[in-house]
A and B are shown apart, each in its own frame.
Chain A
Amino acid sequence: MGQEFVLLISSSVFCIGACGFIIRKNPLIMFMSVELMLNSVNFLLIAYSSFLNSLDGQIFALIIMTVAAAEVVVGLAIILTIFRTRHEMDVDHINALKG
């Protein structure tokens, strides 16, 4: 399959992820949308590393996966902490740093 198809799939998944991050109100689903965006970029890097016959893209994707795993763990811990103090899950209502 050509490079146009890869670009099409990757950019549409990225746009879907950005859209989900904006329109959803549940912080868990917002995190899932961030995962979608990171994954689409990973796919683009890996496909182009195959097109270019160079492994740098795959190493980059591996580092992105590490960063995404760390980000998800910290983010979910923060969401859990917010839920324990405030007992609600709507990002529109969370407007104060102090509990």
Chain B
Amino acid sequence: MFDLATVFEFTRDTVIFTVGITAVLASLGVILCSSPIYCALYLISHMICLALLFLLYNAEFLAAVQIIVYAGAVMILFLFIIALLGGKKEIQENSLERSIAFTFILTLAGELYLSATVGPTQQIEGEISPELFGTAKAIGLELYSKHLIAFELASALLLVAAVGVICLAKFSFAPLKRR
């Protein structure tokens, strides 16, 4: 009758297909909506779809990070800024720049397609056991041993970004007097 592994594979493929198509549609909504607040909401749904895809591809730690950092912190920041600046609707009109943009994007898509047709990648024998793959423990072991320099550089980057933002926000920006 039904092999359990076959049923599992079929279900997984169906879920990946559905979530992937939803992610593409949500990203289309981001660039086609005229009101910034709807764009932000579409972007949140895109992030959540991507977190689901991360889970389906054995990256549970990064799925949690995606939800917390992107759908949580970054999008809340976006929504605050939109609420502060007032989400004005943008009039969309066809122009020369827009057709140039579409030509550029079509060329880019063609190039990506050509570079993607080099054939499937072979699996290499990793030292990570399958039940540990993608967990916080495996990520931590890898991050603190092999990629320590990248980790330290990332901490320096975050510090510099925090200092820069404080400098930008601290001084009063009354319109500068022209000489």
Contacts and interface: CB of A to CB of B under 8 A. Distances in A.
Contacts of A65: 62, 65-66, 69-70
Q: Is the interface of B mostly helix, strand, loop or mixed?
A: helix
A49 B139 CA distance: 12
Contacts of A1: 12-13, 16-17, 20
B50 A42 contact: yes
Contact of A28 (B53, B58, B66, B78): B78
Contacts of A7: 112, 116
Nearest to B167: A77
A32 interface: yes
Contacts of A31: 78
Contact of A13 (B23, B54, B82): B23
A29 B17 contact: no
Contacts of A22: 97, 101, 104-105
Contacts of A3: 120-121
B84 A50 contact: no
B139 A58 contact: yes
B158 A70 contact: yes
A61 B143 CA distance: 12
A53 B45 CA distance: 28
Interface in A55-70: 55-56, 58-59, 61-63, 65-70
B81 A79 contact: yes
A5 B16 contact: yes
A77 B166 CA distance: 9
Contacts of A24: 31, 90
Most buried by A among B36, B62, B125, B138: B62
Contact of B150 (A63, A77, A80): A63
A14 B62 CA distance: 20
B132 to A, nearest CB: 10
A77 B168 contact: yes
A49 B79 CA distance: 32
B90 A25 contact: yes
Closest 6 CB pairs of A and B: A20-B31, A70-B161, A22-B101, A11-B112, A53-B126, A50-B57
